[in-house]
A and B are shown apart, each in its own frame.
Chain A
Amino acid sequence: MGNRSWNDYRQFAAVILWILCMTTIAIPAQAQDDPPASEQNAANPVGDGELTPEVANKLANLLDRDWDERPEWAEMLVMVLKGQTMRMGPGTGWFRDAQKKYDWLWLLDRFDINADRVVQLAELPASPQREFYFTRLDLNRDGELTGIDFSRNSYSVNPFAKQTFTRLDTDSNGRLSQEEWQKFFSRSDRDERGFLTPEDFQAAFSPAPPRPDPTNQPSRPPQMPPTTYWLNMLVNGELGSLSNGPNVGDPAPDFKLTTYQGDSEVALSSFKGTKPVVLIFGSFT
């Protein structure tokens, strides 16, 4: 023991020193592995898996900025990410105008002989159907074909008329029968006077005030479904078909389906060379 030289110790000391350096270096690294909670969120802004409005908006802006030629479903994706689903309507997202092989401008170009931007009956080609065709084009029934007949306003019934009609069409078959009309009169003429006053008419269209329900919770404003709800709807095809469908000029995809009675088959291609076909896609539920 007495004979141990300093060299031994120095070696030992050097070794010790080295270890200490290692330890010193290691400690800061270890501290980085285990940061305090606030530092952890700053380093990981996506959080624990929820789609925040901030992230959704950023994604929408990236898509807007860099993806010009995008499929229709992507238009809806952007709307959903921006939280604009309540604004769905004509002209938004994938709800675009119709495509037409023949339109108002074509009609003007072909038949507006005196170039007054109006097409008269006489300017249409003579045929047994001419008058019929004319009346089906003249939507505002003013006896002339103008741009107004080909505008969106002409294609849909105004909200008031629509609402009134729905109220009166009690069997909802899209036809207001004389019977339905008279029943409306009878039920609006509460005092059976044989006539309706403006107040009766108004009352007929005003909903009855809701009766307070003693078991009901105090009403809260309805909550907007979260973005993830709409994304789910979108990818499940519930906002609309995810495919684009054929465009004007494209060959129509052929199909062969049976009638609902099960007694005959209809193949689209069977009409080729005979006459045009109108396809009405819809659902009854």
Chain B
Amino acid sequence: MSSNTRVGIEFEQPKTFDERIEVASSCCASLEFTMPLVVDTMKNRVEKAYSAFPDRLYIIDQEGRVAYKGGRGPFGYMPRELEQTLVMLLIAEPPALATAADEPVDQGSDAEDAETPAEPASESDEVADDTAAPAAE
């Protein structure tokens, strides 16, 4: 991916779990992540369960059911659409907890790219900025 190579990010396709961790670490460092990032098993069990390759966005509601299923990536990977749906979900189903903020949980088969929605403000938290990722090439 030329946008990666341009800034010296070049990885061999990871073949071991440790190699994946390395990619994930580099990703979080470069993109200054603030949310949890978890790494899938080498059998890609979770990616398969969610049909998530190459990238995909979901919202899970408080009952543990899917409330938003993004179109397949790269074309369907639209954080702003995700965010709107999240806002409507929060309006329709105010969360049980005192704060209205929700924590996005990142999950990468290798690691994570930078495109994240803004987190809605809780009564005390600040709004996080959107970060726009370079387009997948």
Contact = CB atoms under 8 A, between A and B. Distances in A.
Interface of A: 72, 89-90, 94-103, 106-107, 110, 124-125, 128-129, 132-133, 136-137, 139, 149-150, 154-157, 162, 165-166, 169-175, 237, 240-241, 243-255, 257-262, 264, 266, 268-269, 271-285
A101 B111 contact: no
A96 B71 contact: yes
Q: Which 3 A-B pairs have the closest CB atoms?
A: A245-B51, A284-B111, A281-B52
Nearest to A124: B91
B21 to A, nearest CB: 5
B51 A244 contact: yes
A280 B104 contact: yes
Nearest to A269: B64
B45 A255 contact: yes
Interface in B90-104: 90-93, 95-97, 100-104
Interface of B: 1, 3-4, 6-7, 9, 11, 13-14, 21, 23-28, 30-32, 36-41, 45-73, 75-78, 80-93, 95-97, 100-118, 120-121, 123, 127, 131-135
Which of A110, A257, A283: most chain B CB closer than 10 A? A283
A278 B102 contact: yes
Given A96-B71, A277-B60, A281-B55, A102 B123 contact: no
B49 A240 contact: no
B120 A132 contact: yes
Contacts of B4: 172, 285
13 contacts: A102-B88, A124-B91, A125-B91, A172-B3, A174-B134, A241-B53, A243-B51, A246-B66, A255-B46, A275-B101, A278-B82, A278-B86, A279-B107
Contacts of A272: 62-64
B40 A277 contact: no
